[in-house]
Amino acid sequence: MNLESERILAATPPFDATVLEIPQPGQVFAHLTSAVLVEHAVRRREGVLTENGAFSAYTGPRTGRSPKDKYIVRDSRTAASVDWSANQSMEPELFNRLLERFRQHFRGRDLYVFDGYAGADPRYRLRLRVVTEKAWHSLFARALFLRPAREELQGFTPDWTVWHAADFHADPVRDGTRSDACIVLNFEQRRVLVGGTHYAGEIKKAIFTVLNFLLPEQGVFPMHCAANVGGNGDVALFFGLSGTGKTTLSADGTRRLIGDDEHGWSDQGIFNFEGGCYAKTIHLSADGEPQIWNALRFGSVLENIPVDPYSRQPDFSDERITENTRAAYPLHYIPHYEPSGQGSHPRHIIFLTCDAFGVLPPLARLDPEQAIRYFLCGYTAKVAGTETGVHEPTPEFSTCFAQPFLPRPPQVYAQMLRQRLEQHRPAVWLLNTGWSGGPFGTGQRIPLTWTRKMLAAALQGDLDAVAYETEPHFGLAVPRECPGVPSWLFRPRDTWSDPAAYDKAAASLAARFVAEERRFRF
C-alpha cells in the first residue's frame, strides 16, 4: 500500500469525544461515510460484503425487536402522560445506575458516532446522536436517518442521544430488567439506552417511540405508515403491520416515494421521519419488487439473510435464521423518491391487512367511523411458521398499527386522526393482501398483481363511480368490480368451496373485532 492510500485510510473527521461524557473510550470515529464504515465493519469481522455490495450482518439470538425488554423512565415528564397499562416503567434511580454501567462498558472500546436528524420538516425536526460500538450499526443509522450537510456537523448539539451497546448484558437482579437486553427511554435526560441486542431495528423504533410522545404536544399526528405521491400532488398513506405490504406497495414506479414506515401529519401536510427504508426481505425477488431489489447495493445493510460463502449471493428465500429478514437502505436508492420527504394533506388512506383467515374482502371503502375503529384495532393475522408456537392463522391486533411504539393512550392518536378526517376528507380504504378461497393452507394468497391493480384503481378514482354492496359480517362497502381484477374476488363467500365454513370463520373474526373494539369504549 502506498503512503497516500495509508493516509486516506487513517483520516477521520475531527470530533471532540469529551462531549460524549464517556470515560476513557477507545478511539472515537465520528461522521464517517458509508465507504469508511464498511471498511471498518469488514476489518473488524462484523459481517461480510455481498456480491451486490451490500453489507451483511447477523444479529445473533435476537432476530427481531424485544418489546418485553423496553422501558420508559417514570418521572415528572412522563408520570401523568404515558399509558402505563401498555408501557413498562423504570424508576430514575435504576436508570442512572444502568447509565453508569453503560459508561463503564464503553470504557476502552472504539465507538462510532452518527449525527443526524429525524423529521424531514425542519419545524419539527429532532437533532439526533447515535453512539454505537459496532461500525455496522452506525452504517445502519446513516442509512435510516436524515443526514446533515457537512457544514451542519460543526458544533452539532443533539436533542436526543442513543447509546447502543450491542455486547452489553444487563443483570436483571441489579438493573431491574427482565433479561440481559434492555431498551430504555428517558424523556427528562433525552437519552435512549439500547443494550444486549444486535438487532438494529431497536435504534430506529426507539426514536419512533420518542416522536410518538413528543409530536402530539406540537399538534403533529405521528403515524406508522408509508407514504407516496402521484404526479398531480395526490398523497396516499399506507398503514399496516409487518408483512402486510407497506414497503412493497408504497414503492410504486408511477408515484414518488416519500417514505416507507414513519411519518408525521401537521397542519401543513405530511413529512417523513427518516431518510431511509427498512424492508422485510423474505422471498424478495427482482420481478416482484424490483425497486427494493435494486436498492440493496453498497451502503445498504442486510440483516440475518443467509449468504452463500463462495458466490456471496444473499438467499432471500432462506428462513433458517429467521422469517424476519431485513434490509436497510437510503431512500434515494429508490429511483422514484420525493427528495423533500414531504407532501400535502393526503387524499387517500389505505389500511393494509393480511387476513390469513380468508374472510375479509380484498378491498373495501370505509366511512369515517369505520376508519377510526379499524385504526384503533390495527388488524392483521399471523400465519403458521412465522413465529414459534404459531400453527394456524392467529389474529393480531396492534392498536393504531403501532402498539409497541405508543407511549400515550391510543385515544390521543385516534382523536388526531378523527380531526384530520373531518377537516381534509380523504378516502379511506381497507386493502387485504391476505388469502382468498379459504384460510392459509387451504386458500390462495391474493396475487400481488391484482392487489396493485386494485390500489391503482382506488388512487386514480376508477372506483368512484362503480356500484358497491355491503358485506354482511363487517358492514363493509365492497366494490362489485375493478379493472383488471376478476369480479368474483370481491365476494369472498363465493370463493370458498364450503359457504357455511366461510360464514363460521367470518362470524368468528367479526366477534374478535367486537371484543377488541370494546377496549376503546365505542
**How many CA atoms lie within 13 Å of 47's alpha carbon, on the beta-carbon side?**
30
- Contacts (Cβ under 8 Å, ≥6 apart) of 513: 373, 377, 379, 474
Per-residue model confidence as pLDDT tens digits over 56-114: 999 999 999 999 999 999 999 999 999 999 999 999 999 999 999 999 999 999 999 99
Residue 502's pLDDT is 97
Question: Is residue 5 predicted with pLDDT exceeding 70?
Answer: no
Whole-angstrom CA distances from 314 to 55, 196, 281, 295 are 10, 26, 11, 14
| Structural fold of domain 347-518 | Phosphoenolpyruvate Carboxykinase; domain 3 (3.90.228)
Tens digit of each residue's pLDDT (9 = 90 or more) over 288-343: 899 999 999 999 999 999 999 999 999 999 999 999 999 999 999 999 999 999 99
pLDDT (tens digit per residue) in 392-405: 678 899 999 999 99
- Is 140 within 8 Å of 301 (Cβ atoms)? yes
- Topology at the third CATH level for domain 11-218: Phosphoenolpyruvate Carboxykinase; domain 1 (3.40.449)
pLDDT reading at 522 higher than 60: no
Segment 216-260, tens digit of pLDDT: 999 999 999 999 999 999 999 999 988 788 989 998 889 999 999
Q: Mean pLDDT, to the nearest integer, of 357-367?
A: 97
Residue 430 backbone dihedrals phi, psi, to 5 degrees: -105, 115
- Percentage of the chain modeled with pLDDT above 90: 89
User: What mean pLDDT is reported for the chain?
Assistant: 94
Q: How does residue 4 score in pLDDT terms, banded at 50, 70 and 90?
A: low
Q: Where in the chain is the domain with CATH 3.90.228.20?
A: 347-518
**Grid cell of 171 as nine digits:** 443483570
Give the integer Cα–Cα distance in Å for 252 and 452.
9
State what percent of residues in the chain have pLDDT above 70.
95
Over residues 436-450, the pLDDT tens digits come to 999 999 999 999 999
| For residue 33, pLDDT beyond 80 | yes
Say how far apart CA 294 and CA 311 lie, in whole Å.
Answer: 18
> Each residue of 155-209: pLDDT tens digit?
999 999 999 999 999 999 999 999 999 999 999 999 999 999 999 999 999 999 9
The larger pLDDT score, comparing residue 448 to residue 390, is at 448
72 DSSP β-pair partners: 89, 185
Q: What b-and-e string marks burial along 116-148, b requiring 16 or more CB atoms within 10 Å of the CB? A: bbbbbbeebebbbbbbbbbbbbbbbbbbbbbbb
Longest CA span, the chain? 78
The pLDDT, as a whole number, for residue 7 is: 57
State the pLDDT confidence band at 127, using cuts at 50, 70 and 90. Answer: very high
Q: What is the mean pLDDT of residues 452-464?
A: 97
Report how far apart, in Å, the C-alpha atoms of 138 and of each of 20, 61, 159, 278, 476 are: 15, 20, 18, 15, 46
Q: Which of 250, 266, 520 is nearest to 400 (CA)?
A: 520
Does pTM top 0.85 for this prediction?
yes
pLDDT of residue 387: 44
Active-site annotation, residues = 65, 205, 224, 242, 246-247, 261, 326
Q: Say which DSSP state 408 is in.
A: S
- Domain(s) of CATH 3.40.449.10: residues in the chain: 11-218
How confident is the model over 472-499, as pLDDT tens digits?
Answer: 999 999 999 999 999 999 999 999 999 9
Taken in order 177, 279, 354, 443, the sign of the CA dihedral is negative
6: pLDDT strictly greater than 80: no
